[in-house]
Structure 1
Amino acid sequence: MMYNWELPDWPNFKYQLQNLEPIWYEFAVETGEVNGMLNALPNTMQQETLMQLMLTEAIKSSEIEGEYLSRTDVMSSIRNNLGLNPVPEPLSDQRAAGIGALMVDVRKTYKLPLTTDKLMEWHQLLMSSSKGINAGSWRKGLEPMQVISGRIGKETIHFVAPPSERVPAEMDAYLDWFNHTAPDGAMEISNPIIRAAIAHLYFESIHPFEDGNGRMGRAIAEKALSQTMGRPVMLSLSRTIAANKTIYYDALALGQQSNEISPWIKYFAELSLDAQKQAKMLVDFTLQKMLFFDRFKIQLNDRQLKVIRKMLDAGPAGFEGGMTAKKYIAITKASKATATRDLQLLTELKVFSPRGAGRNIHYTLNL
């Protein structure tokens, strides 16, 4: 099999856009609605929503690569890098510190050109705590860079990247392409989804680092979307990718077999639209939380508020299994009798909606 970089037309990507107009239109509508909803929130709630999106992107981008990070540490890193903690919070996991810092910098610098120095800086943030990885430098060595899966001895090779000796020249060409296709560039690509789709596929096909290429490539895709749209994008691509990694890897592998990338463009367009819809759900959930607390906060005691905040922290998907008396006691350290009274009151106030009966009764928030 020959890969895209081995073909004579590399990297002159070609694509057809028939039947994709409805996706462009729906993405624009969803984006407009998200921004409108966000602007209706107070500044503090806007900031909370932004941090939740960055947290989700950081956590899910790492999960795709098999790393499971502490949400608390990643959020602390994001808050530290946004300057929201008067005294920076200490972090036990430096991987969380790095990915949090990367998420903030991608958003802060979205308008700026993409440079070798910036990529090296991002890679240092991402990989400096990883042993045996040359963080902040292109890969070297004679061994082929392969994307594989499966057990040792039964591996499946999905892709073989260009030899290490070609990486510096390939990345020079890549950065020229990225910056010339930016707004007002000599080869401007005005459709943000098309530009981000190519930016991600092109980068992943070079695979310039020893490790971290997936996370770096997704950060670059976010930068391309934000830069082309003229504002920081409000979505998490990695959350949508993580929901079905097999489809993502299959689409990427197919895109790396040819420089006619229409199927990849279609996949990435649908991915971006799904991610924007997920972001709208989060913004809507944040708005519901604000209205919920405005309505009930003076009627609830500290125990009840603590439980409700815990449930709301679970996000739009909800608190797994709902709230039960046992969970209520564990969270508040209240007695069984107190927990029962609190749950009855919350039900009477229509804060909670009961589900089931007897020992199986549990409660959901009535947002």
Structure 2
Amino acid sequence: MYIYEHEGWPAFRWSDGVLSAPLAAVRHRQGRLIGRMEALGFPLRSEALLQTLTEDVLKSSEIEGEALDKEQVRSSIARRLGLDIGALAPVDRDVEGVVEMMLDATQRYDQPLTKERLFDWHAALFPTGRSGMTRIKVGAWRDGSAGPMQVVSGPIGRERIHYEAPAADRLDVEMARFLAWFEAPTEFDPVIKAALAHLWFVTIHPFDDGNGRIARAVADMALARSEGSPQRFYSMSAQIRIERTAYYEMLEATQKGDMDVTPWLAWFLACLGRAFEGAEATLASVMAKARFWERHRDAPFNDRQRAIINRLLNGFEGKLTSSKWALLAKCSQDTALRDIDDLMARGVLAKDAAGGRSTSYSLVMV
């Protein structure tokens, strides 16, 4: 028996006694983090915002098994927010769609969440009208033509059904009730509302695909409302990606339980608290980048060198070799080696410890 089949659905209940202390702790850390970030100068705050939003988009997609190109995501966000990050990478339509949805949810958090807005988000996520090779119903509730909406795992023939969503003929009523609740004032804390909105939306599962990403965008929108600010300095999606197994297990247990959702709310608050810890790493990265450029503010870097250094400062994946330098900078191997030798002579780059057949290099950060 699923949660939506219980009498009284969706009248969720929870224990204030269990949640009051963790909620107070989360709200305190949330306020401290926002205060620290807002005390930064505009350039550092913009860089922290860009890093956070980039991680949010990347990790929310990774939760669903989709890997997006980091530079494309970063370029798309920077362009939409008017941030100067130098040369912008060409961006695919699917990346643009995910970025557009996430920014609409967080930058326009104070605008009503409506059926039409959700349809626009869904259409942005699936610009080709397909999920992988499968054609899906885009910009509309699922219609049930493909059978029951089930969350399954395992090989074909031995699938395990984790959850089956409400039938398609209930969606108009279910979503109208959800949207009315989301926009109505509530007596409880707005962070609790974010957690409930996430659970409620993903339980209804109104679309053929993309429900998880949209549920997390809805939760981010509610969290932005809890802060009264479009500035995002932490990523709930990035933390959920780290805790993906626990996330799915908690969702399944809650969806197969009764109307008492205290365990889900407690998990959400704890996960949010750990997301604030992740924000500290973002802040440290931003400060390290600022210190690096301050130390080298008078250095005569060429455009190739400056672009590659920024790639390294933004979290370059893998090891930097001369071949990768040539590929990224669109130059010859000889030119790449000259750029690298110049930076090594100035103490900007250093050779990594020997390993593998190719020599690799790292920035000197101290």
Please classify the TM superposition score into its range, dividing by the shorter chain length: 0.7 to 0.9
Alignment match, 1:79: 78
CA shift digits 1:60-107 (9 cap, x unpaired): 11121122222233333323433568xxx7955211111111121112
Cα drift, residue 19 of structure 1: 5.0
Q: How many residues align?
A: 350
Alignment match, 1:94: 93
Alignment match, 2:212: 214
Equivalence map 1:54-69=2 (5 Å) = 54-69=53-68
Asked whether 1:127 is paired with 2:131, we answer no
Name stretches of at least 5 consecutive residues in structure 2 with no aligned partner.
Answer: none
Query: Are the equivalent residues in 1 in contact too, given 2:98–2:125 (CA < 8 A)?
Result: yes
Q: 2:200 aligns with which of 199, 202, 212?
A: 202
What is the CA–CA distance in structure 1 between the aligned matches of 2:327 and 2:117, rounded to whole Å? Answer: 46
Cα drift, residue 307 of structure 1: 4.3
What is the CA–CA distance in structure 2 between the aligned matches of 1:57 and 1:335, rounded to whole Å? Answer: 33
Name stretches of at least 5 consecutive residues in structure 1 with no aligned partner.
Answer: none
CA shift digits 1:217-248 (9 cap, x unpaired): 00000011111222234321111111231111
Alignment match, 1:141: 144
Percent same amino acid among aligned pairs? 33
CA RMSD after TM alignment: 3.0
The secondary structure found in structure 1 opposite 2:346 is helix
What is the CA–CA distance in structure 2 between the aligned matches of 1:218 and 1:358, rounded to whole Å? Answer: 41
CA shift digits 1:150-205 (9 cap, x unpaired): 2111111110001000010011111122112xxxx1x3322x33111110001111
Query: Are the equivalent residues in 2 in contact too, given 1:41–1:287 (CA < 8 A)?
Result: no
Asked whether 1:23 is paired with 2:16, we answer no
Cα drift, residue 273 of structure 1: 1.1
Moved more, 199-208 or 17-26: 17-26
Query: What letter matches 1:205 in structure 2?
Result: T
The secondary structure found in structure 2 opposite 1:53 is helix
What is the CA–CA distance in structure 2 between the aligned matches of 1:301 and 1:193, rounded to whole Å? Answer: 46
Query: Are the equivalent residues in 2 in contact too, given 1:91–1:97 (CA < 8 A)?
Result: no
Alignment match, 1:289: 289
What is the CA–CA distance in structure 2 between the aligned matches of 1:21 and 1:246, rounded to whole Å? Answer: 26
The secondary structure found in structure 2 opposite 1:50 is helix
Alignment match, 1:159: 163
Closer/same/farther in 2, CA of residues 353 and 38 from structure 1, 3 Å limit: farther
The secondary structure found in structure 2 opposite 1:111 is coil
What is the CA–CA distance in structure 2 between the aligned matches of 1:263 and 1:202, rounded to whole Å? Answer: 14
TM-score when normalising by structure 2: 0.84
Cα drift, residue 338 of structure 1: 6.9
Closer/same/farther in 2, CA of residues 342 and 109 from structure 1, 3 Å limit: closer
Moved more, 15-24 or 193-202: 15-24
Query: What letter matches 1:310 in structure 2?
Result: R
Query: Are the equivalent residues in 2 in contact too, given 1:33–1:280 (CA < 8 A)?
Result: no
Closer/same/farther in 2, CA of residues 128 and 327 from structure 1, 3 Å limit: closer
Moved more, 245-254 or 294-303: 294-303
